[in-house]
Amino acid sequence: MAVDVMVPPLGTTVDTLTLIAWYRNEGDTVVKGDPLFCVETDKATLDVEAPGSGRLIRISAKAGDVVQTLTRIAVIVGEGETTPAADTKLTTLHQPAAARITSAVAPTLAPKVRAITDQSRNRILISPRAKRFAQDRNLEWKTLRGTGPEGAIVERDVRDALKEEPAAQSPVTLTSEVDATELMLLLERINHLGTAATIDDLMLMILAQALSEARGTNCPDEAYDSGLHIGLTVETKEDFVVAPVLNVDTLSLRTIVAETARIRDAALIGNIDTADVNQIAACITNLGSFCVDTFTPTMPVSQCPLIGIGRIKRHTSAQGDSFSLWLSLTYDPSKIRALAAAKLVQTVVTTIENPLRALL
């Protein structure tokens, strides 16, 4: 005989459900006990079993409809059985409300309901409210342990998980005004000898020495695994790009000058190689030529310290000319200790003020 497919009552306080999906289409053969459709309340998402075996017909509600509990939304007819005569169509809330069935007979008419955590379906039970709450906060909810009915994940589980997650730490920037007089005098002497060095070239040597002295305290140990590489921010036709200068601690100043010149030329024609940029131990960005004094350097590789170099200023007095620049160091406090970052700034500043130290 024909069997009505009913919207299940899920407690005395639940009058309506949202139909999420049908697992069978009109005319398909269904087997009693197999999941037939899925419904959602404000607390859970559940599978409803087929109340009989046969052919599924007269589906009157579609996915997304809000349906009244204990109303018929389809019919299952047996093999060879003729379609029963059409009668009053019991429908969703968006149509006239169906007659109510008393709570005394409701349990006998309701189909069986299974939580979607049923292992045969390999799905996870979570309330729609909790799911939306987690998705709005980009939380991976599938790994959470539910404390709701049938082990369902409820909103309080999501809130507890968010409390447990460590708060993201913002980058910290340290700045220092540095006496660059000796650095500029050294640069003048080097260039007088025929080596066209720049401030960036000397800073690469200075930073390489500082990082070598502080190995393991200023960036992850793996940053040194394949050599001490330092990123250098260079200008392209449209923007800036970070290019790695490899094994800086093993290079002479003359070799560094040649390598940075090659990198700048390659950047201008769009032929820059950034394959090793994720292996750098630090990065130097110099915006002095753009009349920038202080800034917070940024780049995708946040686990390493980022050195910013500002404009070099000349100071004239009766005692002669002197020079100064602003140095900044930006670091991720979840990767680098504050004391280590401060000591790195101290070492770099001391070496800038006594630059021959980096050449010895």
Give CATH for domain 3-121: 2.40.50.100
Sign (positive or negative) of CA dihedral 219, 222, 225, 230: negative
CATH 3.30.559.10 boundaries in the chain: 172-359
105 versus 294: the higher-pLDDT residue is 294
Number of Cβ within a 10 Å radius of residue 4: 17
User: What is the mean predicted confidence (pLDDT) over 113-133?
Assistant: 61
**What's the distance, CA 276 to chain centroid?**
22
Token pair, residue 279, equals: 């292996």
pLDDT number for residue 128 = 72
Sign (positive or negative) of CA dihedral 329, 333, 334, 339: positive
Question: What is the band of 121 on the pLDDT scale with cuts at 50, 70, 90?
Answer: very low
- Predicted confidence (pLDDT) per residue in 42-88, tens digit: 766 778 889 999 999 999 999 888 898 889 999 999 877 766 655 54
Taking all residues of the chain, what is their mean pLDDT, rounded to a whole number? Answer: 82
Q: At what angle do helices 199-213 and 181-192 cross, to 10 degrees?
A: 120
172-359 classified as CATH 3.40.50.360 = no
CATH number for the 124-165 domain, one of 3.40.50.12280, 4.10.320.10, 3.40.50.150, 1.20.140.10? Answer: 4.10.320.10
State the pTM of this model.
Answer: 0.55
